[in-house]
Chains A and B, each alone.
Chain A
Amino acid sequence: MKIACLIKQVPDTETRIRIKPDRSGIEESDIKYIVSPYCEFAVEEALRVKEKAGGGEATVISLGPDRVVEAIRTALAMGIDKGIHIDSEGKSFDSYATAVVLANVLRDRGFDMILCGKQAIDGDNGQVGPMIAELLDIPQVMIIERLELTADKKGVTATRRVAGGGKEVYEISFPALFGCEKGLNVPRYASLPGIMKAKTKPIEKLKSSDLLNGALPLVQWANYQLPPERMAGKKIEGDLAYQAHELVRLLREEAKVI
């Protein structure tokens, strides 16, 4: 069985985000990067599926600048067999361009299962996975919280979480793409022996410019700005009737939302 997992390196959630002076993006120099948590679920699931299938090969793929090699190595240290780094060559990619590049890498490599996060925690778009599936013309299920290999190992039963605590259960034959949700598994830590072993695992280097096939991003970024600082709260005191009256007045006259 051949499994691909797609990962994205994102700023740590504790990072204090600063905007570049020309507003073209965020200041990247001071940022600590991590693997997006949903992508970590994808890596862990790839390892578990491989273990349950009793063999196979798992490949981790990431698009980005040189720093993403660290994220790839981390996945290799967790137990993934090999990596592919697609150099973004200093360019920004929207969901569509990312999907085109990744689909072109995945095509013709014969992957049975493609795993990704349900979304990355930086852009929170949640589009790349479904777009890849569409470009490759394979089925996809996003927001999965359970994945079971079928007895013949030619497909899976995937459980997708939907609103209100509901669940949808899919039976799907390979090849297929899955977007992982929290709760699917608990990712293992990269152990020190694993990190040592990862040093010698292969990482294939590709260039994004060779994989775009003329596709252009559909989104353009005009400028970035930080959300306004939160103002101090206002406490309304007095009897209930007065509080309700005052609240309505403030919502109408000050906040202008009703």
Chain B
Amino acid sequence: MTNQTRSYFTEEHEIFRKSVRSFVEKELYPHQQEWEKSRSVPKEIFKKLGEQGFLGITLPEKYGGSGCDYWYKVAFAEEMTHCRMNGFTMDVMVHTDMTTPVINRLGTEAQKEEVLIPAIKGEKICALGITEPGGGSDVAHLRTTARKDGDDYIINGAKTFITNGSRADYILLAVRTGPPVTAETFQSAHTGVSFIIFPTHNEKGEKTPGFSVGRKLEKMGNHSSDTAELSFQDCRIPTKYLLGEENKGFYYVMNNFQGERLIASIMACAGMKLMLEDSIKYGRERQAFGKPIITFQVWRHRLAQLFTELEAAQELTYRACDLFNRDIPCVKEISMAKLLTSELVNKVAAECVQLHGGYGYIEEYDICRVYRDVRLLTIGAGTSEIMREIIAKETGL
């Protein structure tokens, strides 16, 4: 399965793909063990990514982006899996796919000047603050509040599982600007949510008073990712940081999820391809009963089945990419791709661990890490259960 034979990619996409691969193999992968172990990646890496134009692929040239089509983004995301750090890759995608495009779409010129331009350069890092200790998928009922006071908002609340949380310069924060959630407002709660670009530091470089980063969370996997708990106590933020219109935040969040889910599907497919390639390589070397285990029919058939399922998942994902690239509504296709790829990647990872036998359970083999890392995918960016709800609704059930 090569990408050259897929009609979505041109010669320029392939040149870009090779350039990303080369960067990943020389600048990222050699540090993989160190960064997985230290559970963080140096902030400077974002600058290196920025210098290569990786952080503004589809964003306008006016702000330092390259204004390219979505397939460049696909090539970038696919090659990033070769750094073998799902965690760090997620950090980057939060920056490039879940935050900066939203600022580009909804932000004022002043906001773009302050946030978008340095973000594309990799000088400033963005995080997305939606999930709270009391709720994730249920965005409509989030509890962090932003109360207007003159020209400021006063923010109170807590967020958790925030990727890039401890090092973000700006957090795209979902807050309640409408009335508090009560029995009466429960049904209409989604009309009281807004997005604020929360600066973690003021112009003088001092930490925003009232904002604090709690403990770094100990996760099952994605160890190279920066994941934190954040707390906001009477944080005073000028109203110029409101993104888009007040109380439209719920729709913005829902809209934003599409890019996030699509990029997650792309990465899941690329991840499956990589782990199957690793497994075949291992299976060719590993001998049992006098021959390589890959030559046993049981593995030939199991791998043939997995390759078939991956091919189907990949094409569904590419179809969603094609619609997304052409700006055609594709909530159903993206939700389907997210559901299918995130479930399949867990199945493939389990099978690949099995093929590796005892060594699949040992950290020296990358499949051990992958097995843990991919577990997040049926949960993050909307659970499989939520995906099925959306698909049911979109299908008119």
Contacts and interface: CB of A to CB of B under 8 A. Distances in A.
Nearest to A73: B15
B2 A193 contact: no
A192 interface: yes
Interface stretch (B16-24, B198-206, B307-315, B375-383): B16-24
Contacts of B22: 189
A26 interface: no
Interface string B1-42: 010000000011011101100110000000000000000000
A32 B57 CA distance: 24
A77 B15 contact: yes
Interface string B47-78: 00001111001000000001010001000000
B57 A192 contact: yes
Given A189-B23, A189-B52, A195 B11 contact: no
A193 B11 contact: no
B52 A192 contact: yes
A127 to B, nearest CB: 27
A74 B68 contact: no
B23 A192 contact: no
A30 B53 CA distance: 30
Nearest to A78: B19
- Secondary structure call for the B interface: helix
A209 B18 CA distance: 31
A42 interface: no
A77 B11 CA distance: 12
B19 A191 contact: yes
Given A32-B2, A189-B52, A195 B18 contact: no
Interface in A184-238: 189-196, 198-199
Interface in A29-86: 30, 32, 34, 69-70, 73-74, 77
A214 to B, nearest CB: 34
Nearest to A71: B15
Nearest to A186: B26
B1 to A, nearest CB: 11
Contacts of A30: 2
B15 A196 contact: no
Interface residues of B, number: 18
Interface residues of A, number: 18
A70 B15 contact: yes
Given A30-B2, A189-B22, A192-B57, A69 B11 contact: yes
A199 B12 contact: yes
A66 B66 CA distance: 27
B352 to A, nearest CB: 19
Contacts of B2: 30, 32
Nearest to A77: B15
A198 B11 CA distance: 12
A70 B57 contact: no
Contacts of A189: 19, 22-23, 52
Nearest to A30: B2
Contacts of A77: 15, 19
A190 B19 contact: yes
B305 to A, nearest CB: 22
B66 A196 contact: yes
B54 to A, nearest CB: 7
A191 B51 contact: yes
A73 B19 contact: no
B96 to A, nearest CB: 12
B11 A192 contact: no
Contacts of B52: 189, 191-192
Contacts of B53: 191-194
A246 to B, nearest CB: 25
A248 B86 CA distance: 52
Contacts of B51: 191
A70 to B, nearest CB: 5
A195 B15 contact: yes
A128 B25 CA distance: 30
Given A30-B2, A32-B2, A190 B68 contact: no
Interface string B110-143: 0000000000000000000000000000000000
Interface string A7-34: 0000000000000000000000010101
Given A32-B2, A196-B66, A190 B16 contact: yes
A65 to B, nearest CB: 14
Interface in A74-104: 74, 77
Contact of B19 (A32, A195, A196, A199): A195
Contacts of A196: 12, 66, 68
B60 to A, nearest CB: 13
A51 B52 CA distance: 19
A70 B15 CA distance: 7
A98 B51 CA distance: 37
A195 B12 contact: yes
Contacts of B15: 70, 73-74, 77, 190, 195, 198
B294 to A, nearest CB: 13
Contacts of B16: 190, 192, 195
Given A32-B2, A196-B66, A70 B19 contact: no
Interface string A90-124: 00000000000000000000000000000000000
21 contacts: A69-B11, A70-B14, A70-B15, A73-B12, A74-B15, A74-B19, A77-B15, A189-B22, A189-B52, A190-B18, A190-B19, A192-B52, A192-B53, A192-B68, A192-B72, A193-B53, A195-B12, A195-B16, A195-B19, A196-B66, A196-B68
Shortest beta-carbon contacts, A-B, top 5:
A192-B53, A190-B19, A192-B66, A191-B53, A191-B52
Interface of B: 2, 11-12, 14-16, 18-19, 22-23, 51-54, 57, 66, 68, 72
